[in-house]
Amino acid sequence: MKLSIRHETHYEYSAPLQYALQQLCLTPQANAHQEVQSWHVNAPGRLYAQRDGWGNLAHSWSMARARGARHVYRGSVTAHGIVQTAPAPLLVDDLAAPHPALYLRATALTATDAALAELGRAHLGGRGVGEAALLALAAAVAARIAWRGGATHVGTTAAEALALGAGVCQDQAHVFIAACRAAGVPARYVSGYFHSPQAQQLASHAWADVCVDVDARRWLSIDITHRCTMDERHVRLAVGPDYAACAPVRGVREGGGDETLRVRVLISPPEP
C-alpha cells in the first residue's frame, strides 16, 4: 500500500520563549516492511541528524533568544512523505542494533507488578513464543485495557493502566511489553502510523515488537489495539524500550509560560 503522510506539530506560548531543544523521531526507515520513497522533516531551526542508541534516525534542533526578548513564540515541526508498505510482520535486526536482551530490562513505564507478571505467565509461560500465543496475549491486553482517549497521559505506567482498565494504544503496548518481559521474552515499543479512514484517532499509533528468535535477532510485530500482526496499514517510525525512549517529538525549554500544542496527522493514498 502506498501512503502519503503529513505529521504537523504546532506550538504557541503565552510568554517569551528563551531557549528550546528538541529531538525528533519522525523519520521512517526502509526495511522488509516498508520502502520510504520520499521524506522531509522541517523545524524552526537547523536540523542535525544522528543515529540514536536504539538504531532510530533522529534529528535535533535548538533555538535561543536574547534575554529580555518580548516576542511570543509560535512555530511548528512538520514531517511528510510517501511510504510504500507490505504485510511483512517479521523483521530481522542487523548486528549494529542493540542486542535483544536489552529489551528484557524494565523501564519506569514498563515496570512489572504481580498482575502484569501473571498476565505474561498465563499466555507465554511454557508455551514458547509463537504467533498464536502472542496474538492471544494481545487480545487479552486489549480486553483488559479498553480504548478510551483522555483516561491516561504520557507518564501513565503499564501497572497503572492495567489497574485502571482503560487507556490508549500507548498503554496497551506498555502492558503487552511488560507482560512479555515478565515471561522472559524481549519486547520493544514501536511508534508509527496506522491508516484507517474509519478510525482517524489512530493515525498516530503504537504497537510492539517481540523477539521470537534471539540468536537470529528476528522480531514479530504485534498490534495490540487491532489484535493482529503488522500489515500494510502500518508505517514504522521508531523503536525503543518504551514511549519515552522514542517519542516522535520530545524536548526541553526555558521560558514560554503556558504552552498550547496542536498535532495533526493526515494519512491517505497519494494523489495521482
Average pLDDT across each block of 10 residues of the chain; the chain has 272 residues. List them in order: 94 85 96 97 94 95 71 82 96 94 97 96 82 96 94 96 97 98 96 82 85 96 97 97 95 86 89 73
**Model pLDDT, residue 19:** 86
Name the phi and psi angles at 66, rounded to 5: -65, 145
**Model pLDDT, residue 125:** 79
55 torsion bin: left (phi>0), alpha (psi -120 to 50), beta (else): left
Question: Cα 187 to chain center, whole Å?
Answer: 13
**Model pLDDT, residue 259:** 84
As a whole number of angstroms, the distance between CA 37 and CA 268 comes to 15
User: pTM of the prediction?
Assistant: 0.93
- Burial (Cβ within 10 Å: 0-12, 13-18, ≥19) of residue 183: buried
Q: Which domains, and CATH codes, for the chain?
A: 2-85+248-268 (2.60.40.2250), 90-245 (3.10.620.30)
Could you tell me which of 212, 265, 217, 218 has the C-alpha nearest to residue 237? 265
**Model pLDDT, residue 132:** 94
**Model pLDDT, residue 16:** 81
**Model pLDDT, residue 128:** 66
**Model pLDDT, residue 235:** 97
**Model pLDDT, residue 183:** 94
**Model pLDDT, residue 271:** 76
Q: How far apart are the first and last CA of the chain?
A: 14
Q: What is the CA radius of gyration of the chain?
A: 19
**Model pLDDT, residue 67:** 58
Contact 191, 202 (CB under 8 A): no
As a whole number of angstroms, the distance between CA 195 and CA 199 comes to 8
User: What does 152-191 look like in DSSP terms, one character per residue?
Assistant: S-TT--HHHHHHHTEE-HHHHHHHHHHHHHHTT--EEEEE
**Model pLDDT, residue 205:** 94
